[in-house]
Amino acid sequence: MDYRIKEQTGFSPKVGELVSMLEYTRAVTLADVEGLSTEELDYLADGHSNSIGALLMHVAAIEFVYQVIAFENRDLTERELEQWIVPLELGDRARNEIRGHSLDYYLDEFKKVRDRTLSLLESVDDSWLYEEGQYFNGVIYNKYYLWFHVVEDETSHRGQIRILKRMLKS
């Protein structure tokens, strides 16, 4: 694991630094879930918590949504929303529907989404990071913020995963 934020080959300088952050964040998440069984991935601490598997799918869903917003400047289509709504919202449906998958299933989803992210980021330059958009509620953002949020969201949910793993051991 590399503990340096630095430019990456194939990306403009600041985009490469962003990629460095995305990849470090993902490497730590992958290390934290390494070797988990399906039963551990499905564990629910109580009737209101999310499983590790659901949290992993949520992380992938957030990254997918931000791909659409950042690169296509649009909301999800009905088909995309149908595919991602459960992991996006978490809650009761996720507790019931995101179950019974091996770690490889989640890792495959992570890889598919991340590979597309990296491919898309190769096509932009540093100025793209500062392009602005506006949420439906009028709040203005730039694309750098969107990708900061992807990192922040994964880090936050990784904290939840670590708590669930400790609960599994007790």
pLDDT score, position 84: 98
Would you tell me how many other CB atoms lie within 10 Å of the CB of residue 23?
15
Confidence bin at 141 (pLDDT 50/70/90): very high
pLDDT score, position 169: 87
Asked whether the beta carbons of 1 and 27 are under 8 A apart, the reply is: yes
CA gap 117, 53 in Å, rounded: 21
**140 has which bridge partners?**
134
Confidence bin at 133 (pLDDT 50/70/90): very high
Q: In the predicted model, is pLDDT for residue 1 greater than 80? A: no
Pull the structure tokens for residue 154.
């994964």
Pull the structure tokens for residue 41.
């991935």
Asked whether the beta carbons of 115 and 123 are under 8 A apart, the reply is: no
- Length of the chain, in residues: 170
pLDDT score, position 98: 98
pLDDT score, position 119: 98
CA gap 141, 61 in Å, rounded: 20
pTM > 0.85: yes or no: yes
Confidence bin at 136 (pLDDT 50/70/90): confident
CA gap 31, 1 in Å, rounded: 10
CA gap 28, 87 in Å, rounded: 21
**How many percent of the chain have pLDDT more than 90?**
95
CA gap 130, 143 in Å, rounded: 6
CATH H-level superfamily of 13-169: dinb family like domain (1.20.120.450)
Q: Is 104 exposed, middle or buried (0-12, 13-18, 19+ CB in 10 A)?
A: exposed
